[in-house]
């Protein structure tokens, strides 16, 4: 079933890891973004082990504790929320949910969208047209509203949230995959395989999919930031993740009522979302520049150009 073969390197990135790092060092902004993301990912992975149960322990007598005070311990440095739980600990635990949901949604939409795109591109049967029309319907309508309606029907839960986010992002993978297949299926090696009597499923999986995959992976990296933003917006509107689970978006929603009295409850998680998506965008921009032979010189001669 798996179409991910290990021997494929993303075609967009030239050279080995060391060369890559050398390029990264030249662009200080991209380096900062990479470091920030690394810290956030490490926190998300090791976080729950680091902070223990601090994120859910009640401190009703420390409600809305102001930030920048170490009196109650370093964990309270960003303040406490409406139930007196340290915001820093909740940011760390929330990162896990935020990233987990986004990663699951991106992976699901890449897998399903890519598969449908392969089918729609290779076959010209009625279902290919149906797939394309459905993608049109999803594309032609604001994704947030579609998500709202579907979440209202299915009820908000993590699984449904992942499904909805995946569905709204799917057309992008579908269309890209289809466009690539349309071009690839006319190539010599596909015709050769067909002439040798290979079944369509085999041609798609063995010959076409491996060539489409790198493009889809590149798109998914860029899409990750968009999905984080969509998930936050849904959780902010109250239709995403439900208590006692939480993501950064839900934390902002939680602090919305306390803007005038305890700004920090909504401020920090929002800042975390922004810095994360910003870092992702900076890095993908950097990667795009790197991948474009006409643009790569900018990174190589950055010092000169900056003058």
Taking contact as CB under 8 A, which single stretch among the options 18-26, 65-73, 97-105, 281-289 is the one that binds another protein? 281-289
Q: Kindly identify the residues of this chain, within the stretch 58-77, that bind another protein according to CB under 8 A.
A: 58, 60-61, 63-64
Between 205 and 267, whose beta carbon lies closer to another protein? 267
CA atoms of 2 and 8, how far apart (whole Å): 13
Task: Verify binding: residue 277, another protein, rule CB under 8 A.
Answer: yes
Among 117, 161, 147, residue whose Cα is nearest residue 135? 117
Between 1 and 260, whose beta carbon lies closer to another protein? 260
Task: Verify binding: residue 280, another protein, rule CB under 8 A.
Answer: yes
Residues 6+ apart with CB under 8 A from 110: 173, 216, 217, 219, 220
Taking contact as CB under 8 A, which single stretch among the options 5-13, 115-123, 203-211, 267-275 is the one that binds another protein? 267-275
Among 35, 17, 93, 98, residue whose Cα is nearest residue 279? 35
Q: Which of 37, 41, 103, 150 binds another protein (CB under 8 A)?
A: 150
> Do the beta carbons of residue 264 and residue 79 sit within 8 Å?
yes
Torsion of the alpha carbons at 215, 185, 202 and 200, rounded to the nearest 10 = 130
Within 10 A of 16 (CB to CB), how many other CB atoms are there? Answer: 10
Write the binding mask 242 to 261 for another protein: x where contact by CB under 8 A, - elsewhere: xxx----x--x-x-xxxxxx
Task: Verify binding: residue 57, another protein, rule CB under 8 A.
Answer: yes
Q: The tokens of 30 are what?
A: 């991209």
Task: Verify binding: residue 15, another protein, rule CB under 8 A.
Answer: no
Task: Verify binding: residue 24, another protein, rule CB under 8 A.
Answer: no
CA atoms of 221 and 138, how far apart (whole Å): 21
Hunting for tokens 């579908």 — which residue is that? 174
Write the binding mask 192 to 211 for another protein: x where contact by CB under 8 A, - elsewhere: --------------------
> Do the beta carbons of residue 177 and residue 187 sit within 8 Å?
no
Binding site for another protein (CB under 8 A): 29, 56-58, 60-61, 63-64, 82-83, 133-134, 136-137, 140-145, 148-150, 152-153, 155-156, 225, 229, 232-233, 236-238, 242-244, 249, 252, 254, 256-263, 266-267, 270-271, 273-274, 277-278, 280-282, 285, 294, 298, 302, 305-306
């Amino acid at each position: 079933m798996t179409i991910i073969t290990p021997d494929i390197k993303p075609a967009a990135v030239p050279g080995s890891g060391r060369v890559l790092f050398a390029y990264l060092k030249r662009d200080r902004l991209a380096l900062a973004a990479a470091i920030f993301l690394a810290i956030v990912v490490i926190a998300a992975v090791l976080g729950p082990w680091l902070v223990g149960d601090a994120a859910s322990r009640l401190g009703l007598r420390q409600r809305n504790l102001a930030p920048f005070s170490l009196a109650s311990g370093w964990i309270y440095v960003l303040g406490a929320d409406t139930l007196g739980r340290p915001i820093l600990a909740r940011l760390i635990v929330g990162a896990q949910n935020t990233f987990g949901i986004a990663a699951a949604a991106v992976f699901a939409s890449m897998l399903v969208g890519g598969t449908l795109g392969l089918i729609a591109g290779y076959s010209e049967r009625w279902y290919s047209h149906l797939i394309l029309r459905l993608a049109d319907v999803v594309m032609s309508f604001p994704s947030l509203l579609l998500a709202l309606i579907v979440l209202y029907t299915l009820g908000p839960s993590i699984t449904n949230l992942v499904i909805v986010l995946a569905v709204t992002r799917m057309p992008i993978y579908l269309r890209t995959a289809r466009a690539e297949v349309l071009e690839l299926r006319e190539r010599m090696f596909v015709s050769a395989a067909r002439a040798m009597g290979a079944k369509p499923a085999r041609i798609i999986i063995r010959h076409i999919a491996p060539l489409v995959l790198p493009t889809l992976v590149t798109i998914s990296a860029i899409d990750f930031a968009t999905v984080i933003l969509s998930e936050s917006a849904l959780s902010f509107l109250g239709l995403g993740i439900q208590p006692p689970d939480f993501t950064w978006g839900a934390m902002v929603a939680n602090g919305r009522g306390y803007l005038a009295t305890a700004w920090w409850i909504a401020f920090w998680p929002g800042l975390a979302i922004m810095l994360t998506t910003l870092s992702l965008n900076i890095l993908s921009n950097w990667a795009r520049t790197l991948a474009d032979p006409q643009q790569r010189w900018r990174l190589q001669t950055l010092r000169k150009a900056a003058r």
